[in-house]
Structure 1
Amino acid sequence: MEELAQQAGITVRTLRFYRERKLIPPPRREGRIAWYDEDHLARLRTIAALLERGHTLNGIAELAEAFDHGRDVGELLGLGAPTEETPVRLSPEELADVFAGQATSENLAASLDLGYLATDGTDIVHISRRLLDTSAALVREGIPLADILAAARRVREHADALAELFTDLVLTEDRTPQDLQRLRPLAKSVVEAELSMALDRRMGGLPRDRKADA
Protein backbone atom coordinates (compact mmCIF):
# COMPACT_ATOMS: atom_id res chain seq x y z
CA MET A 1 0.00 0.00 0.00
CA GLU A 2 2.83 2.39 0.82
CA GLU A 3 4.51 1.69 -2.53
CA LEU A 4 1.26 2.27 -4.42
CA ALA A 5 0.54 5.51 -2.57
CA GLN A 6 4.05 6.77 -3.28
CA GLN A 7 3.81 6.05 -7.02
CA ALA A 8 0.36 7.68 -7.19
CA GLY A 9 1.58 10.77 -5.33
CA ILE A 10 -0.95 10.46 -2.49
CA THR A 11 -0.79 9.57 1.20
CA VAL A 12 -1.52 6.12 2.58
CA ARG A 13 -4.40 7.68 4.50
CA THR A 14 -5.93 8.94 1.23
CA LEU A 15 -5.45 5.52 -0.35
CA ARG A 16 -7.24 3.85 2.56
CA PHE A 17 -10.07 6.35 2.18
CA TYR A 18 -10.37 5.52 -1.53
CA ARG A 19 -10.49 1.82 -0.69
CA GLU A 20 -13.22 2.38 1.90
CA ARG A 21 -15.23 4.32 -0.71
CA LYS A 22 -14.64 1.45 -3.19
CA LEU A 23 -13.04 3.84 -5.66
CA ILE A 24 -10.39 1.21 -6.37
CA PRO A 25 -10.81 -2.58 -6.48
CA PRO A 26 -9.44 -4.66 -3.59
CA PRO A 27 -5.88 -5.97 -3.89
CA ARG A 28 -4.93 -9.56 -4.61
CA ARG A 29 -4.02 -11.26 -1.36
CA GLU A 30 -1.48 -13.94 -0.61
CA GLY A 31 -1.71 -14.68 3.07
CA ARG A 32 -1.14 -11.39 4.87
CA ILE A 33 0.38 -9.71 1.80
CA ALA A 34 -1.77 -7.41 -0.35
CA TRP A 35 -0.60 -7.03 -3.95
CA TYR A 36 -1.49 -3.98 -6.03
CA ASP A 37 -0.80 -3.74 -9.75
CA GLU A 38 -0.74 -1.30 -12.69
CA ASP A 39 -4.55 -1.29 -12.90
CA HIS A 40 -4.76 0.09 -9.35
CA LEU A 41 -2.20 2.78 -10.19
CA ALA A 42 -4.06 3.70 -13.40
CA ARG A 43 -7.34 3.98 -11.47
CA LEU A 44 -5.72 6.31 -8.92
CA ARG A 45 -4.33 8.51 -11.70
CA THR A 46 -7.78 8.60 -13.29
CA ILE A 47 -9.30 9.68 -9.96
CA ALA A 48 -6.75 12.47 -9.69
CA ALA A 49 -7.47 13.62 -13.27
CA LEU A 50 -11.24 13.64 -12.71
CA LEU A 51 -10.86 15.56 -9.44
CA GLU A 52 -8.81 18.17 -11.31
CA ARG A 53 -11.69 18.49 -13.78
CA GLY A 54 -14.14 19.27 -11.01
CA HIS A 55 -15.77 15.88 -10.47
CA THR A 56 -16.81 14.97 -6.94
CA LEU A 57 -15.76 11.77 -5.19
CA ASN A 58 -19.41 10.64 -5.18
CA GLY A 59 -19.60 11.11 -8.94
CA ILE A 60 -16.27 9.33 -9.45
CA ALA A 61 -17.48 6.42 -7.29
CA GLU A 62 -20.60 6.08 -9.46
CA LEU A 63 -18.51 6.13 -12.62
CA ALA A 64 -16.14 3.52 -11.19
CA GLU A 65 -19.07 1.25 -10.35
CA ALA A 66 -20.44 1.63 -13.87
CA PHE A 67 -17.03 0.79 -15.35
CA ASP A 68 -16.65 -2.26 -13.12
CA HIS A 69 -20.06 -3.64 -14.09
CA GLY A 70 -19.93 -2.78 -17.80
CA ARG A 71 -19.26 -5.29 -20.55
CA ASP A 72 -15.71 -5.57 -21.79
CA VAL A 73 -14.53 -5.15 -25.37
CA GLY A 74 -14.38 -8.89 -26.00
CA GLU A 75 -18.01 -9.26 -25.01
CA LEU A 76 -19.07 -6.27 -27.10
CA LEU A 77 -17.27 -7.45 -30.24
CA GLY A 78 -18.70 -10.90 -29.65
CA LEU A 79 -22.09 -9.35 -30.37
CA GLY A 80 -20.88 -8.52 -33.88
CA ALA A 81 -17.95 -6.30 -34.77
CA PRO A 82 -18.97 -3.27 -36.88
CA THR A 83 -17.91 -3.61 -40.50
CA GLU A 84 -17.97 0.10 -41.39
CA GLU A 85 -17.50 1.87 -38.06
CA THR A 86 -14.19 2.88 -36.49
CA PRO A 87 -13.91 2.21 -32.74
CA VAL A 88 -12.34 4.92 -30.55
CA ARG A 89 -10.21 4.29 -27.46
CA LEU A 90 -10.58 6.84 -24.62
CA SER A 91 -9.44 7.24 -21.05
CA PRO A 92 -12.19 7.99 -18.50
CA GLU A 93 -11.00 11.58 -18.20
CA GLU A 94 -11.01 12.01 -22.00
CA LEU A 95 -14.59 10.74 -22.09
CA ALA A 96 -15.52 13.25 -19.38
CA ASP A 97 -13.96 16.05 -21.45
CA VAL A 98 -15.77 15.01 -24.65
CA PHE A 99 -19.17 15.29 -23.00
CA ALA A 100 -18.47 18.40 -20.94
CA GLY A 101 -19.29 16.98 -17.52
CA GLN A 102 -22.31 14.96 -18.69
CA ALA A 103 -20.51 11.61 -18.47
CA THR A 104 -22.57 10.69 -15.40
CA SER A 105 -23.08 7.16 -14.11
CA GLU A 106 -26.62 7.14 -15.52
CA ASN A 107 -25.50 8.22 -18.98
CA LEU A 108 -22.57 5.82 -18.88
CA ALA A 109 -24.88 2.93 -17.92
CA ALA A 110 -27.22 3.84 -20.80
CA SER A 111 -24.29 3.92 -23.25
CA LEU A 112 -23.03 0.55 -22.00
CA ASP A 113 -26.53 -0.91 -22.33
CA LEU A 114 -26.84 0.38 -25.91
CA GLY A 115 -23.49 -1.18 -26.75
CA TYR A 116 -21.87 2.16 -27.55
CA LEU A 117 -19.22 1.76 -24.85
CA ALA A 118 -17.16 -1.10 -23.47
CA THR A 119 -14.21 -1.33 -21.13
CA ASP A 120 -10.73 -2.58 -21.97
CA GLY A 121 -8.63 -2.61 -18.82
CA THR A 122 -8.51 0.99 -17.65
CA ASP A 123 -9.57 2.35 -21.05
CA ILE A 124 -13.00 2.83 -22.59
CA VAL A 125 -13.79 1.93 -26.20
CA HIS A 126 -16.59 3.65 -28.11
CA ILE A 127 -17.84 1.41 -30.89
CA SER A 128 -18.25 4.18 -33.49
CA ARG A 129 -16.27 7.34 -34.19
CA ARG A 130 -19.23 8.76 -36.14
CA LEU A 131 -21.68 8.24 -33.28
CA LEU A 132 -19.21 9.65 -30.74
CA ASP A 133 -18.56 12.78 -32.81
CA THR A 134 -22.28 13.30 -33.51
CA SER A 135 -23.25 12.89 -29.86
CA ALA A 136 -20.51 15.32 -28.76
CA ALA A 137 -21.63 17.87 -31.37
CA LEU A 138 -25.25 17.68 -30.14
CA VAL A 139 -24.08 18.15 -26.54
CA ARG A 140 -22.15 21.25 -27.62
CA GLU A 141 -25.40 22.54 -29.13
CA GLY A 142 -26.97 22.38 -25.67
CA ILE A 143 -28.89 19.11 -25.99
CA PRO A 144 -28.58 17.00 -22.80
CA LEU A 145 -26.70 13.74 -23.28
CA ALA A 146 -29.49 11.87 -21.47
CA ASP A 147 -31.98 13.03 -24.12
CA ILE A 148 -29.58 12.07 -26.91
CA LEU A 149 -29.22 8.54 -25.51
CA ALA A 150 -32.98 8.20 -25.09
CA ALA A 151 -33.43 9.22 -28.73
CA ALA A 152 -30.66 6.80 -29.74
CA ARG A 153 -32.64 3.93 -28.24
CA ARG A 154 -35.62 4.85 -30.41
CA VAL A 155 -33.39 5.24 -33.48
CA ARG A 156 -31.98 1.76 -32.77
CA GLU A 157 -35.48 0.27 -32.84
CA HIS A 158 -36.31 1.92 -36.18
CA ALA A 159 -32.90 1.03 -37.65
CA ASP A 160 -33.36 -2.63 -36.68
CA ALA A 161 -36.77 -2.62 -38.37
CA LEU A 162 -35.31 -1.07 -41.56
CA ALA A 163 -32.46 -3.58 -41.60
CA GLU A 164 -34.94 -6.43 -41.24
CA LEU A 165 -37.07 -5.04 -44.09
CA PHE A 166 -34.08 -4.70 -46.44
CA THR A 167 -32.73 -8.14 -45.50
CA ASP A 168 -36.08 -9.77 -46.24
CA LEU A 169 -36.24 -7.88 -49.55
CA VAL A 170 -32.79 -8.94 -50.75
CA LEU A 171 -32.35 -12.45 -49.32
CA THR A 172 -34.54 -14.37 -51.70
CA GLU A 173 -33.81 -17.99 -52.55
CA ASP A 174 -31.19 -17.13 -55.18
CA ARG A 175 -29.29 -14.51 -53.14
CA THR A 176 -26.72 -14.93 -50.39
CA PRO A 177 -25.45 -12.86 -47.43
CA GLN A 178 -22.60 -11.78 -49.74
CA ASP A 179 -25.22 -10.17 -51.99
CA LEU A 180 -26.69 -8.42 -48.97
CA GLN A 181 -23.27 -7.02 -48.09
CA ARG A 182 -22.73 -5.89 -51.69
CA LEU A 183 -26.11 -4.14 -51.84
CA ARG A 184 -26.04 -2.48 -48.41
CA PRO A 185 -24.95 0.93 -49.87
CA LEU A 186 -28.28 0.99 -51.71
CA ALA A 187 -30.16 0.51 -48.44
CA LYS A 188 -28.20 3.35 -46.86
CA SER A 189 -28.97 5.62 -49.81
CA VAL A 190 -32.70 4.94 -49.52
CA VAL A 191 -32.71 5.62 -45.78
CA GLU A 192 -30.67 8.83 -46.15
CA ALA A 193 -32.94 10.14 -48.92
CA GLU A 194 -36.14 9.29 -47.06
CA LEU A 195 -34.84 10.90 -43.86
CA SER A 196 -33.89 14.03 -45.79
CA MET A 197 -37.39 14.28 -47.29
CA ALA A 198 -38.99 13.55 -43.91
CA LEU A 199 -37.04 16.45 -42.38
CA ASP A 200 -38.23 18.68 -45.23
CA ARG A 201 -41.83 17.71 -44.50
CA ARG A 202 -41.30 18.22 -40.78
CA MET A 203 -39.78 21.68 -41.27
CA GLY A 204 -42.53 22.58 -43.72
CA GLY A 205 -45.10 22.00 -41.00
CA LEU A 206 -43.38 24.22 -38.43
CA PRO A 207 -44.82 27.65 -37.53
CA ARG A 208 -43.22 30.52 -39.44
CA ASP A 209 -41.20 31.77 -36.44
CA ARG A 210 -39.84 28.26 -35.81
CA LYS A 211 -38.80 27.99 -39.45
CA ALA A 212 -36.80 31.20 -39.16
CA ASP A 213 -34.98 29.80 -36.15
CA ALA A 214 -34.30 26.56 -38.02
Structure 2
Amino acid sequence: MKSFSSRPAGYTIGELSAIVGMSPRNIRAHQTRGLLPPPVRHGRSAYYGPVHLRRLERITTLQEQGFNLASIAAMLGTATADPGTARTSAALAEIARVQPPVFCALERHGLLGRDDSGAAAIARPPVAQAVAELAGAGIPPVDVLRFLGQLMDRMAPVADAVVGAAAERLTVADSPSGGASPDLGSSLADFLVSAFRTAVENAVELTFPGRGPGKRRSR
Protein backbone atom coordinates (compact mmCIF):
# COMPACT_ATOMS: atom_id res chain seq x y z
CA MET A 1 0.00 0.00 0.00
CA LYS A 2 1.26 3.44 -0.91
CA SER A 3 1.75 6.08 1.73
CA PHE A 4 1.96 9.85 1.77
CA SER A 5 3.57 12.13 4.28
CA SER A 6 0.80 13.50 6.46
CA ARG A 7 0.02 17.19 6.47
CA PRO A 8 -2.23 19.16 8.79
CA ALA A 9 -5.01 19.57 6.24
CA GLY A 10 -5.14 15.84 5.49
CA TYR A 11 -5.59 14.19 2.10
CA THR A 12 -7.40 15.32 -1.00
CA ILE A 13 -9.82 12.77 -2.39
CA GLY A 14 -7.29 11.96 -5.11
CA GLU A 15 -4.58 11.23 -2.56
CA LEU A 16 -6.94 9.17 -0.40
CA SER A 17 -8.01 7.25 -3.49
CA ALA A 18 -4.38 6.36 -4.27
CA ILE A 19 -3.69 5.26 -0.68
CA VAL A 20 -6.65 2.90 -0.30
CA GLY A 21 -6.84 1.79 -3.93
CA MET A 22 -10.46 2.92 -4.29
CA SER A 23 -11.87 5.27 -6.89
CA PRO A 24 -13.01 8.76 -5.84
CA ARG A 25 -16.47 7.83 -7.08
CA ASN A 26 -16.69 4.88 -4.67
CA ILE A 27 -15.36 6.99 -1.81
CA ARG A 28 -18.11 9.54 -2.42
CA ALA A 29 -20.67 6.74 -2.69
CA HIS A 30 -19.64 5.37 0.73
CA GLN A 31 -19.98 8.89 2.11
CA THR A 32 -23.48 9.21 0.61
CA ARG A 33 -24.49 5.87 2.17
CA GLY A 34 -23.34 7.08 5.56
CA LEU A 35 -20.48 4.59 5.78
CA LEU A 36 -17.91 7.40 5.73
CA PRO A 37 -18.01 10.70 7.66
CA PRO A 38 -18.00 13.89 5.57
CA PRO A 39 -14.59 15.44 4.87
CA VAL A 40 -13.30 18.59 6.50
CA ARG A 41 -13.65 21.59 4.21
CA HIS A 42 -11.13 24.40 3.88
CA GLY A 43 -12.56 27.00 1.58
CA ARG A 44 -13.64 25.19 -1.57
CA SER A 45 -11.45 22.14 -0.95
CA ALA A 46 -12.31 18.97 0.97
CA TYR A 47 -9.75 17.03 2.99
CA TYR A 48 -9.83 13.58 4.50
CA GLY A 49 -7.91 12.46 7.57
CA PRO A 50 -6.77 9.31 9.39
CA VAL A 51 -10.34 8.50 10.48
CA HIS A 52 -11.47 8.32 6.87
CA LEU A 53 -8.43 6.25 5.93
CA ARG A 54 -9.03 3.68 8.68
CA ARG A 55 -12.74 3.46 7.86
CA LEU A 56 -12.13 2.85 4.15
CA GLU A 57 -9.52 0.19 4.92
CA ARG A 58 -12.03 -1.47 7.24
CA ILE A 59 -14.75 -1.38 4.57
CA THR A 60 -12.38 -2.86 2.00
CA THR A 61 -11.35 -5.67 4.37
CA LEU A 62 -14.98 -6.56 5.15
CA GLN A 63 -15.91 -6.56 1.47
CA GLU A 64 -13.01 -8.92 0.75
CA GLN A 65 -14.40 -11.20 3.47
CA GLY A 66 -17.71 -11.35 1.58
CA PHE A 67 -19.87 -8.92 3.57
CA ASN A 68 -22.28 -6.73 1.62
CA LEU A 69 -22.71 -3.01 2.29
CA ALA A 70 -25.85 -3.49 4.40
CA SER A 71 -23.97 -5.90 6.68
CA ILE A 72 -20.98 -3.55 6.81
CA ALA A 73 -23.24 -0.67 7.82
CA ALA A 74 -24.58 -2.77 10.70
CA MET A 75 -21.09 -3.78 11.79
CA LEU A 76 -19.77 -0.23 11.63
CA GLY A 77 -22.75 1.08 13.55
CA THR A 78 -23.89 3.36 10.73
CA ALA A 79 -27.18 1.59 10.01
CA THR A 80 -30.39 3.17 11.24
CA ALA A 81 -31.02 2.01 14.78
CA ASP A 82 -34.16 -0.06 15.42
CA PRO A 83 -35.98 -0.50 18.73
CA GLY A 84 -34.22 -3.20 20.71
CA THR A 85 -30.80 -2.69 19.11
CA ALA A 86 -29.23 -1.41 22.33
CA ARG A 87 -30.64 -4.39 24.23
CA THR A 88 -29.24 -6.73 21.60
CA SER A 89 -25.78 -5.19 21.95
CA ALA A 90 -25.95 -5.55 25.74
CA ALA A 91 -27.09 -9.15 25.34
CA LEU A 92 -24.16 -9.94 23.06
CA ALA A 93 -21.76 -8.53 25.64
CA GLU A 94 -23.39 -10.67 28.35
CA ILE A 95 -23.29 -13.81 26.18
CA ALA A 96 -19.58 -13.21 25.48
CA ARG A 97 -18.92 -12.85 29.22
CA VAL A 98 -20.98 -15.68 30.71
CA GLN A 99 -21.51 -18.12 27.81
CA PRO A 100 -18.42 -18.12 25.56
CA PRO A 101 -19.46 -21.33 23.72
CA VAL A 102 -22.69 -19.69 22.55
CA PHE A 103 -20.79 -16.59 21.48
CA CYS A 104 -18.28 -18.74 19.59
CA ALA A 105 -21.13 -20.58 17.85
CA LEU A 106 -22.61 -17.29 16.63
CA GLU A 107 -19.19 -16.18 15.46
CA ARG A 108 -18.43 -19.53 13.80
CA HIS A 109 -21.63 -19.36 11.77
CA GLY A 110 -20.81 -15.88 10.48
CA LEU A 111 -23.50 -14.09 12.46
CA LEU A 112 -21.15 -11.78 14.33
CA GLY A 113 -18.69 -9.10 13.32
CA ARG A 114 -16.96 -6.21 15.06
CA ASP A 115 -17.77 -2.53 15.01
CA ASP A 116 -15.19 0.26 15.04
CA SER A 117 -14.83 0.06 18.82
CA GLY A 118 -14.15 -3.68 18.66
CA ALA A 119 -17.51 -4.57 20.21
CA ALA A 120 -19.43 -7.54 18.83
CA ALA A 121 -22.31 -6.78 16.47
CA ILE A 122 -24.72 -8.93 14.49
CA ALA A 123 -23.39 -8.90 10.93
CA ARG A 124 -26.63 -9.92 9.20
CA PRO A 125 -29.15 -7.02 9.23
CA PRO A 126 -32.25 -9.30 8.87
CA VAL A 127 -31.09 -11.32 11.88
CA ALA A 128 -30.38 -8.17 13.89
CA GLN A 129 -33.84 -6.84 12.99
CA ALA A 130 -35.52 -10.11 13.96
CA VAL A 131 -33.73 -10.24 17.33
CA ALA A 132 -34.70 -6.61 18.00
CA GLU A 133 -38.33 -7.32 17.11
CA LEU A 134 -38.47 -10.33 19.40
CA ALA A 135 -37.01 -8.16 22.17
CA GLY A 136 -39.77 -5.65 21.50
CA ALA A 137 -42.30 -8.47 21.76
CA GLY A 138 -41.03 -9.29 25.25
CA ILE A 139 -38.53 -12.10 24.67
CA PRO A 140 -35.16 -11.36 26.35
CA PRO A 141 -32.42 -10.92 23.72
CA VAL A 142 -30.08 -13.16 25.74
CA ASP A 143 -32.56 -16.03 25.37
CA VAL A 144 -32.95 -15.33 21.65
CA LEU A 145 -29.19 -15.29 21.06
CA ARG A 146 -28.64 -18.44 23.12
CA PHE A 147 -31.29 -20.28 21.11
CA LEU A 148 -29.90 -18.84 17.86
CA GLY A 149 -26.48 -20.33 18.55
CA GLN A 150 -28.01 -23.73 19.32
CA LEU A 151 -30.26 -23.50 16.26
CA MET A 152 -27.37 -22.72 13.93
CA ASP A 153 -25.41 -25.69 15.23
CA ARG A 154 -28.37 -27.94 14.46
CA MET A 155 -29.29 -26.29 11.17
CA ALA A 156 -25.83 -26.24 9.55
CA PRO A 157 -25.75 -30.02 8.87
CA VAL A 158 -29.36 -29.90 7.66
CA ALA A 159 -28.52 -27.04 5.29
CA ASP A 160 -25.55 -29.00 3.94
CA ALA A 161 -27.80 -32.00 3.30
CA VAL A 162 -30.53 -29.93 1.64
CA VAL A 163 -28.11 -28.10 -0.64
CA GLY A 164 -26.47 -31.43 -1.50
CA ALA A 165 -29.84 -32.95 -2.37
CA ALA A 166 -30.74 -29.94 -4.52
CA ALA A 167 -27.43 -30.17 -6.36
CA GLU A 168 -28.04 -33.87 -6.98
CA ARG A 169 -31.69 -33.72 -8.05
CA LEU A 170 -31.99 -30.42 -9.93
CA THR A 171 -30.61 -30.41 -13.45
CA VAL A 172 -28.58 -27.32 -14.30
CA ALA A 173 -29.04 -26.12 -17.87
CA ASP A 174 -26.16 -24.37 -19.59
CA SER A 175 -26.57 -20.65 -20.08
CA PRO A 176 -26.38 -19.21 -23.62
CA SER A 177 -22.84 -18.05 -22.89
CA GLY A 178 -21.83 -21.57 -21.88
CA GLY A 179 -21.68 -23.13 -18.44
CA ALA A 180 -24.02 -22.63 -15.51
CA SER A 181 -25.48 -19.20 -14.82
CA PRO A 182 -23.36 -17.15 -12.37
CA ASP A 183 -26.60 -16.39 -10.50
CA LEU A 184 -27.28 -20.07 -9.81
CA GLY A 185 -26.03 -20.04 -6.23
CA SER A 186 -28.02 -16.94 -5.30
CA SER A 187 -31.17 -18.22 -7.01
CA LEU A 188 -30.90 -21.63 -5.33
CA ALA A 189 -30.40 -20.00 -1.93
CA ASP A 190 -33.49 -17.81 -2.45
CA PHE A 191 -35.51 -20.86 -3.51
CA LEU A 192 -34.50 -22.98 -0.51
CA VAL A 193 -34.92 -20.12 1.97
CA SER A 194 -38.41 -19.35 0.64
CA ALA A 195 -39.39 -23.01 0.95
CA PHE A 196 -38.05 -23.22 4.50
CA ARG A 197 -39.71 -19.92 5.42
CA THR A 198 -43.06 -21.25 4.20
CA ALA A 199 -42.64 -24.41 6.28
CA VAL A 200 -41.76 -22.38 9.38
CA GLU A 201 -44.66 -19.97 8.85
CA ASN A 202 -47.05 -22.91 8.55
CA ALA A 203 -45.69 -24.40 11.80
CA VAL A 204 -45.92 -21.06 13.63
CA GLU A 205 -49.53 -20.62 12.50
CA LEU A 206 -50.36 -24.04 13.94
CA THR A 207 -48.49 -23.40 17.20
CA PHE A 208 -49.71 -19.84 17.72
CA PRO A 209 -53.16 -19.68 16.06
CA GLY A 210 -54.07 -16.17 15.00
CA ARG A 211 -50.60 -14.86 15.86
CA GLY A 212 -48.59 -16.10 12.89
CA PRO A 213 -46.46 -14.05 10.47
CA GLY A 214 -49.49 -12.81 8.58
CA LYS A 215 -51.02 -11.34 11.77
CA ARG A 216 -48.36 -8.71 12.53
CA ARG A 217 -49.54 -5.45 13.96
CA SER A 218 -49.38 -2.54 11.58
CA ARG A 219 -46.81 0.10 12.46
The two structures have a TM-score, normalised by structure 1, of 0.44
More helix by share: 1
